[in-house]
Amino acid sequence: MKITGLKTLVVNAEMRNWVFVKVETDQPGLFGWGEGSLEWKTRAVVGALEDFEPMIVGEDPRNIEHLYQKMYRQSFWAMGAIGMSAISAIEQALWDIKGKDLNVPVFELLGGKVRDRVRMYTHLGGGDMKAVYETFAVEPLIEYAKSVINKGYSALKVVFVPYSKTIEGTKKVKQFAHMFGKLREAVGPDIDIMVDFHGRTTPAMAIQYINAIEEYHPFFCEEPVRPENIDSIKMVTDRTKVPIATGERHISIYQYKEIFEKNAVHVIQPDLCHCGGLWAAKKIAAMAEVYNMGVAPHNPLGPVANAVALHFALSTPNFLIQEDMLTDVPWRWDVVETEITSKNGYWAVPVKPGLGIEINEAEAKKHPFKQEIIHSNTIRDEDNAILDW
Whole-angstrom CA distances from 300 to 26, 271, 357 are: 33, 9, 17
The Cα 4–Cα 2 span in angstroms is 6
Which bin fits 254, alpha (ψ -120 to 50), beta or left (φ > 0)? alpha
DSSP code of residue 369? -
Return phi, psi of residue 16, to 5°.
-155, 165
The Cα 324–Cα 301 span in angstroms is 8
The Cα 267–Cα 295 span in angstroms is 6
The Cα 64–Cα 96 span in angstroms is 11
**What type of residue is 113?**
K
DSSP string, 211-278: HHHGGG--SEEE--B-TT-HHHHHHHHHT-SS-EEE-TT--HHHHHHHHHHTT--SEE---TTTSSSH
How crowded is residue 69: how many other Cβ atoms within 10 Å of its Cβ? 11
The Cα 310–Cα 107 span in angstroms is 8
Catalytic residue IDs: 198, 298
The Cα 82–Cα 38 span in angstroms is 7
The Cα 349–Cα 339 span in angstroms is 10
**What type of residue is 26?**
D
The Cα 39–Cα 49 span in angstroms is 16
Whole-angstrom CA distances from 294 to 182, 197, 328, 355 are: 28, 19, 27, 24
The Cα 294–Cα 385 span in angstroms is 36
β-strand 220-222 against 244-246: which pairing, if any? parallel
DSSP code of residue 77? S
